[in-house]
Amino acid sequence: MTGQDVIKITDLSVTYSNGHCALDGVNITLHTGTICGLVGVNGAGKSTLFKSIMGFVKPSQGSVKIHGDIAQKALKKNRVAYVPQTEEVDWNFPVLVKDVVMMGRYGHMGFMRIASKADHVAVENALERVGMRAYENRQIGELSGGQKKRVFVARALAQGGDIILLDEPFTGVDIKTEDSLIALFHDLANEGRLILVSTHNLGSVPHFCDEVILINKTVQAYGPVETTFTQENLAKTFGGMLRHHRLIGDDLHDDEDPRGLTVLTDDERPLVLYGEEGGEQIRKLNKKGRKRTT
């Protein structure tokens, strides 16, 4: 693999207090400089995996190591930034957008958390990168859902750890913002960070991920997008849960060409596979998609 190992998950199982087993025997090693997609149905355990990496839920078995440290220690070193799926904050709290992003910098500040010039610059850059600079003086509750989401992404950016975990950052975000977030993730990965992103937009995964984890309580498949994100693995992970359209030979052409078109979708951006078996073209498509976004 390209970068060095940063997150090492060994034999991780998580059982919630109601007895529900959300993750079972997960083994993954993630590397720097990559964007890794995390894909699975609702309730597959994606958010649970994020929370276990952060040490917010206790594993019933196995362990998570970040740069060789347990979560608590890694958090103290400000290595990991995390954008949860839903924010549980009081939207009436008297803080402005820039104050919220500044809180991402607290780990870098001294005892009294007094912001230095560098901290202000980091906050401005982070807001600029998510296109929220114009809103920096708004009270946090006075934003739309997608704008709120972007502010929390900015807070994670400002924090500047080498690992960024994003739990469904694209939900409720428009296409333009999604594209700019994807471009941003590419930049961050090129700077040598690890980005772990969960999403239901199967169609964007080949466009922006280097690796993908297909999960359904256990890891169904994990590896480079080109070889892992195949129809077979997707079918295994999603069972009958995907909208599946296959347009074969006769529907597409009048000639004898046996190739068919497969459209898979779990959300708004469909995954399109073209070929006899419906998977051969994924590599080419991926390359094309890359050019568009980078």
Q: Is 275 helix (H, G, I), strand (E, B) or coil?
A: strand
In the complex, what is the shortest distance from the CB of residue 232 to Mg ion, in angstroms, rounded to a whole number? 25
Site string for other proteins, 75-104 (x = CB under 8 A): xxxx-xxx-x--xxxx-xxxxx--xx--xx
Q: Is 47 in the site for Mg ion (CB under 5 A)?
A: yes
Nearest distance, CB of residue 5 and other proteins, angstroms: 21
Q: Is 85 in the site for Mg ion (CB under 5 A)?
A: yes
48 binds, among other proteins, ligand ATP, Mg ion, none (CB under 5 to 8 A by kind): ligand ATP
Q: Which C-beta is closer to Mg ion: that of 44 or that of 97?
A: 44
Which of Mg ion, ligand ATP, other proteins, none interacts with 43 (beta carbon under 5 to 8 A by kind)?
ligand ATP
Q: How far is the CB of 67 from other proteins (least distance, A)?
A: 14
Interaction partner, residue 22 (ligand ATP, other proteins, Mg ion, none; CB < 5-8 Å by kind): ligand ATP
Say which residue the tokens 């347009």 belong to.
247
Q: Measured from the CB of residue 92, what is the shortest distance to Mg ion in angstroms?
A: 25
Both tokens of 155, joined, read: 């807070």
Please give the full DSSP string across 206-267, using - where no structure is assigned. HHH-SEEEEEESEEEEEEEHHHHS-HHHHHHHHTT-SEEEEE-HHHH-SSS---EEEEEESS
**CA gap 132, 110 in Å, rounded:** 27
Binding to other proteins (CB under 8 A) within 126-185 occurs at 139, 155, 159
Count of CB atoms situated within 10 Å of the CB of 53: 24
Tokens of 146: 């997608």
Please, what is the angle between helix 175-190 and helix 282-293, to 10°?
90
Could you say which residues in the range 211-250 bind other proteins, by CB under 8 A?
Answer: none
**Is the CB of residue 191 less than 8 Å from the CB of residue 25?**
no
Residue from 20, 284, 287, 288 binding ligand ATP (CB under 6 A): 20
16 interacts with ligand ATP by CB under 6 A: yes
11 contacts 22 by C-beta, under 8 angstroms: no
- By CB under 5 A, the count of residues binding Mg ion is 3
93 binds, options other proteins, Mg ion, ligand ATP, none, Cβ within 5 to 8 A by partner type? other proteins
**46 touches ligand ATP by CB under 6 A:** yes
Residue range at the interface with other proteins (CB under 8 A); choices 109-117, 201-209, 254-262, 264-272: 109-117
Q: Nearest CA to 79 among 94, 64, 96? A: 64
| 44 forms part of the interface with ligand ATP (CB under 6 A) | yes
Structure tokens at 210: 């280097």
Backbone angles phi, psi at 287, to 5 degrees: -60, -45
| Strand (E) or helix (H) holding 156 | helix 145-159
By rule CB under 6 A, what string of x and - marks binding of each residue 59-88 to ligand ATP?
A: --------------------------x---
State both tokens at 231: 């129809």
Handedness of CA 171, 172, 175, 180 (dihedral sign): negative
Position among 33, 37, 40, 104 found at the interface with ligand ATP (CB under 6 A):
40
Closest by CA to 6, choosing from 131, 136, 161, 125, is: 161
Residue ranges in contact with other proteins by CB under 8 A: 54, 56, 75-78, 80-82, 84, 87-90, 92-96, 99-100, 103-104, 106-107, 111-113, 139, 155, 159
**Residues near Mg ion, by CB under 5 A:** 46-47, 85
